[in-house]
Amino acid sequence: MTHETACLGIVLAAGEGTRMKSATPKVLHPVGGRPMLDAVLASARAGGIKRLAVVIGAGADLLRSHLARSAADVAVHEQTARLGTAHAVLAAAAAIRPDEDVIVLYGDTPLVEGATIARLRARLAEGVDIAVLGFRARDPFGYGRLILADGRLTAIVEERDADAATRAVDLCNSGIMAFRAGLLPDLLEAVGNANAKGEYYLTDTVAIGVGRGLVAAVVEGDEDEFTGVNDRVQLAAAEAGFQRRARRAAMLGGATLVAPETVFFSHDTRLGHDVTIAPNVVFGPGVSIANDVTIHAFSHIEAAHVDSGAIIGPYARLRPGAAIGPDAHIGNFVEIKNADIAAGAKVNHLTYIGDASVGARTNIGAGTITCNYDGVSKHRTDIGAAAFIGSHTTLVAPVKVGDGAFTAAGSVITRDVPADAMAFGRSRQDNKDGMARAKREALLALKMTNR
């Protein structure tokens, strides 16, 4: 939806987060594989907010450093004393322009969607002065209550300041509020701290505004979307909410999840059509899966791409930089890292392929490893097309195996193998008749002597 008025988003991220019991600022704890703050900023942008400011406090240095890397265009303001939400917004007063609407969001509410923010903005475009995101709570205890009269919002009353009748109201405040351009600075100046906590509540701007003849309204959303995080239990609840949403989107998008509750996604997981995912599969950040891929049970995939028709697992691990080509097979207890596996290649058993390329239709035997690290630097192994790497081959990088080449089982390959050549990197077998019996008898005699 297009809005004529530009909008500033102010994200409050200054909380102490003491209940997290962590050296990491609360809003940097991840949900869906990314920090909660990043999720809120992404939703704000998806909702059409072009300009963003973040108010920081506790862990200010870590937050500044993080935002400089992940959102360099965001203005950062510091709240040096935590005196309530209105006081926090005032810390970003320099960012407020008279010709822009303002939406206040929270860095610890990671599940709010861009479409919901767009609905809130739309209410301002329709002529409302103040719009608040609310929800019907299953258990309203602890939430601020939204008080309506003739369908209009008249006040927000915090739990600690509510009487019995107000506590019976189940329409609750998410904390997310929108203000028509030009209104917020004057409303903030009028906010006092005559309440149970002695803090300056942003929610008081509703009653102040209504008292001045402004129109306030509620935009309702789903309670789960406004899940806030104050401790690790609530962090787990937010993660569970994210996963429910991601699993549903995956299935509606054309993927089969055999046991949906056991599959875990990241915020940027991309799945094609007719993907089948078996139980207990985990997707880390940065994964894209093309059409017709099968991922068997207990596989872990992170920062990797899997092309169409490939089969992964069970018990496979694709680490960052893994690129699996069309119709390739990556089997059980196989680890791929920073390696290209070309079309139709097979790496099926108990193998590590790191910093390597494997050509089309090549077969990698069980127990093969690429020795890619010499203790100081990483080196590459390049294996050509239609090659055959025998079981338990050790490829000491840097090394190249040409198209159509073979390596004998149990070989240690330290030199390049030309195309269509066969490499033997092992000593010749020599059988000593009777030696095993003699050795066994000697060992038994020694054992008896030492009793």
Which residues are catalytic, by number? 349
Distance, in Å, from the CA atom of 124 to the CA atom of 119, rounded to the nearest integer, reads 9
Is the bond leading into 314 cis (omega within 30 degrees of zero)? yes
Beta strands in 145-280, from DSSP E residues, in sequence order: 145-149, 152-157, 171-179, 216-220, 255-257, 270-271, 275-277
The rounded radius of gyration (Å) of the Cα atoms in the chain is 30
- Nearby residues of 315 by Cβ (< 8 Å), 6 or more positions away: 296, 297, 298, 299, 332, 333
Strands 30-31 and 34-35: antiparallel
Lookup: tokens for 267: 């915020």
Please tell me what DSSP assigns to residue 211: H
For residues 350 and 362, give the distance between their C-alpha atoms in angstroms, rounded to a whole number.
16
Q: Round to whole Å and give the CA distance between 437 and 441.
A: 6
Residue type, 382: D
Helix (H) / strand (E) containing 87 = helix 85-90
Q: How far apart are CA 63 and CA 133, in angstroms?
A: 26
Distances (CA, A) of 154 to 132, 183, 185, 203, 416: 11, 17, 20, 11, 79
Instruction: State how far the Cα of 418 lies from the Cα of 387, in Å rounded to an integer.
Output: 11
Tokens found for residue 350 = 């108990």
Kindly provide the residue ranges of all beta strands, DSSP E only, lying in 158-232, ordered along the sequence: 171-179, 216-220
- Angle between helix 114-125 and 36-46 (nearest 10): 50
